[in-house]
């Protein structure tokens, strides 16, 4: 891992991915690298176990590059993340606003004083029951959460965090004109599997990312909320 990060460009790619996943084309544009040279750097990082490429659950043709945040050896090498401009609110977005975005918004309130909410591009009628149960196991209360459409929630100053490939790929059409700042987390949809294991895996991915973003996003609150860890009393 250390040898792979000895190249400044690869280290910069890792820093770029600390807070958000990215399509290879976006990385190529960000660093001014031809596709063949970028492919070489990504291959070295992937073989070292630092990144992985995941197929989009949306159009199924594109892929996203993400850090292997579930490996403690990888997270130990990372900086807290590039500082973000302050945002008055964070909006977590997925297609149905019934699981991933709801869990992310609830988690956010435990670690940051910056307000947060969630929305969907095609909201479901209710929050998924397994999302409610998953949240309950980790001290999150989603029993009374409601779904909402993105158009009814988002404001120009919001920081959007898409936790769903489909929603991420739909946003340019849904939000024409000047768009809010946004990050993307390619978290697999647990609903098709409809198992506690799938929802727990989504929760863990989101939890790692929420913590990292909260460290990088400025807030004015002198004493931000403390995360209620699993098993802690309410």
Q: What is the predicted pLDDT for the residue at 181?
A: 83
pLDDT tens, residue by residue, 190-204:
999 999 999 999 999
Q: What is the predicted pLDDT for the residue at 160?
A: 96
Distance between CA atoms of residues 158 and 92, nearest Å: 10
**Secondary structure tally for the chain: helices H, strands E:** 8, 6
Task: State which H helix or E strand residue 208 sits in.
Answer: helix 196-216
Q: What is the predicted pLDDT for the residue at 222?
A: 39
pLDDT tens, residue by residue, 74-125:
999 887 666 666 789 999 999 999 999 999 999 999 999 999 999 999 999 9
The domain locations on the chain are 4-75, 90-216
On whether the 4-75 domain is CATH 1.10.10.10, my answer is yes
Q: What is the predicted pLDDT for the residue at 80?
A: 65
pLDDT tens, residue by residue, 39-61:
999 999 999 999 999 999 998 88
CA separation, residue 148 to residues 74, 96, 107, 189, 207 (Å): 36, 9, 18, 18, 22
Residue among 143, 141, 118 nearest 128 (CA):
143
DSSP E strands in the chain: the ranges are 51-55, 63-67, 90-94, 116-120, 159-162, 181-184
pLDDT tier at 37, thresholds 50, 70, 90: very high
* Superfamily (CATH) of domain 90-216: Response regulator (3.40.50.2300)
Residue 178 has pLDDT above 90, yes or no: no
Segment 66-79 mean pLDDT: 90
pLDDT tens, residue by residue, 118-176:
999 999 999 999 999 999 999 999 999 999 999 999 998 999 999 999 999 999 888 87
Q: What is the predicted pLDDT for the residue at 179?
A: 66
Q: What is the predicted pLDDT for the residue at 177?
A: 66
Residue among 142, 140, 162 nearest 150 (CA):
162
């Amino acid at each position: 891992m250390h040898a792979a990060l000895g190249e400044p460009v690869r280290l910069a790619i890792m820093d770029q991915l600390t807070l958000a996943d990215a399509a290879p084309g976006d990385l190529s544009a960000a660093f001014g690298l031809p596709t063949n040279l970028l492919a070489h750097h990504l291959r070295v990082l992937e073989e070292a176990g630092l990144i992985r490429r995941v197929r989009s659950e949306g159009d199924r043709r594109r892929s996203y590059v993400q850090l292997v945040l579930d490996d403690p050896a990888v997270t130990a090498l990372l900086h807290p993340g590039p500082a973000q401009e302050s945002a008055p609110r964070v909006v977590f977005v997925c297609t149905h606003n019934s699981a991933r975005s709801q869990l992310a918004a609830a988690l956010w309130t435990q670690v940051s004083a910056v307000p947060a909410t969630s929305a969907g591009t095609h909201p479901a009628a209710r929050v998924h029951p397994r999302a409610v149960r998953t949240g309950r196991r980790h001290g999150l209360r989603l029993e009374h959460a409601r779904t909402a459409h993105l158009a009814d929630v988002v404001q120009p100053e919001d920081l959007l965090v898409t936790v769903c490939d489909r929603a991420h790929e739909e946003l340019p059409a849904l939000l024409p004109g000047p768009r809010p700042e946004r990050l993307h987390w390619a978290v697999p949809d647990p609903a098709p599997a409809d198992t506690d294991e799938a929802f727990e895996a989504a929760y863990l991915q989101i939890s790692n990312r929420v913590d990292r973003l909260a460290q990088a996003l400025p807030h004015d609150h002198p004493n931000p909320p403390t995360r209620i860890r699993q098993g802690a009393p309410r």
